[in-house]
Amino acid sequence: MYRAATAAFDRADGAVMCAAVADYTPETCADRKLKKGDGELTIRLRRTKDIAAELGSRKGGRVLVGFALETDDEEAHAREKLRRKHFDFVVLNSLRDAGAGFRGDTNKVTFVSEAGNEPLPLLAKREVAARIADKIETLINE
């Protein structure tokens, strides 16, 4: 995915980094099935390449949007991600509000940018997506 995303970004006006495939991957892969045993199984993991950070380092004048789902210090972590990955804004998802998150048709998000926070009310996920697209369009047209 890293190779495909970085190659496609060279021809893009921007990118919406909506989900990390995996932050970690197994250090080694078995060439055969691992059978049940009597002991514990330990899997060593290594960090994967950070696609969003790589695109942010090559951003130029393009629009780059990120997402964050945090369980503590939500705004501080979203702001750090905004800065570190050179995003134009981060869509901060809520897990604290009823009706928000992944288990329904609604969500409550806050757009976090250098200009400040823009909290949205609880909305249908289609409406959240439309608001994200509207914000991207505004940034492109500025």
pLDDT for residue 100: 77
- Give residue limits of the domains in the chain: 14-20+48-141
pLDDT for residue 116: 95
Residues in a beta bridge with 66: 17, 90
pLDDT for residue 35: 83
pLDDT for residue 104: 84
pLDDT for residue 121: 95
Q: Which of 78, 121, 118 is nearest to 98 (CA)?
A: 121
pLDDT for residue 76: 95
User: What is 14-20+48-141's CATH superfamily?
Assistant: CoaB-like (3.40.50.10300)
In this prediction, the residues of the chain whose per-residue pLDDT falls under 50 are: none
pLDDT for residue 18: 84
pLDDT for residue 97: 78
Residue 116 region, left (φ>0) first, then alpha (ψ -120 to 50), else beta? Answer: left
Q: Do residues 87 and 64 touch, judged by C-beta distance below 8 A?
A: yes
